[in-house]
Amino acid sequence: MVRLQKFLAEAGIASRRASEQIILAGRVTVNGKEARELGTKVDPLHDRVAVDGRAVHRKKKLYIALHKPRGYVCTRQETEARDLIGELLPKEWSDLFSVGRLDCQSEGLIFLTNDGDFCLKLTHPRYGIRKTYVAMVDGKVEREMLKKFTDGIEDAGEKLQALRTRLISANNTTSIVELELAEGRNREVRRLFESQNLVVRRLQRVKIGPIKLGELPAGKWRTLTETEIKSLLSKL
């Protein structure tokens, strides 16, 4: 027997937290009866679970590493955007959802999965999965500025903070900086530089936990190995 929200997450419906909201909204039935209690348990082998009237079954778990190109949106749903991340994946993987986000103009490593627990553990702030970015910035970045980033900067009621920074190169027109973050707040890297009146011209995520983007070409994907998946979860 497993909790209903865990079953939904393992079936790829949504993360466990999002599945709880689906249950509370009365969208889930077990053996034909509405189930709104978060403590509800189901037998995956014998109980009939449905969301919005559609049967839910456990699926083979997939873990994909994708090199998101600039200009693509991290969604598989229909939007007015021209380029959707789902267009880069096989059509039969339509149930995969992105683990976190990269904004439209950012590029680099992102994971997709149908495993809600995996998604939760890699995105929830309490787990602190570290992510590494390389930013190309207009103007000269001084080391004193990077010290401010690691000390933390208040912006719009939030504390933005890099765990580690490295100045790769800098001249009067362009600087390249590597930053490591754990919280992953919305547009955090860009907001750090904006606080110093600098504009990020290119932003690439090159590493999530121990997994590197490596030589994976833009727009291409690969499956994560069992060893890589274990290495991501072993730190949690």
* Residues labelled catalytic: 103
Query: Reduced to 3 states, what is the DSSP secondary structure of residue 146?
Result: helix
- CA dihedral (169, 170, 176, 182) in degrees, to 10, reads 90
Q: Calculate Rg over the CA atoms of the chain.
A: 20
> In the structure encoding, which two tokens stand for residue 235, read together?
């730190």
Distance of alpha carbon 23 from the chain centroid: 23
| Residue-by-residue DSSP string for 35-99 | ---TT-EE-TTT--EEETTEE-------EEEEEEPTT-BS-SS--S-S-BGGGGS-GGGTT-EEE
Around 205, how many Cα atoms within 13 Å sit in the side-chain half-sphere? Answer: 32
Name beta bridge partners: 30.
33, 49
Rounded alpha-carbon distances, angstroms, from residue 30 to 60, 116, 153: 21, 20, 48
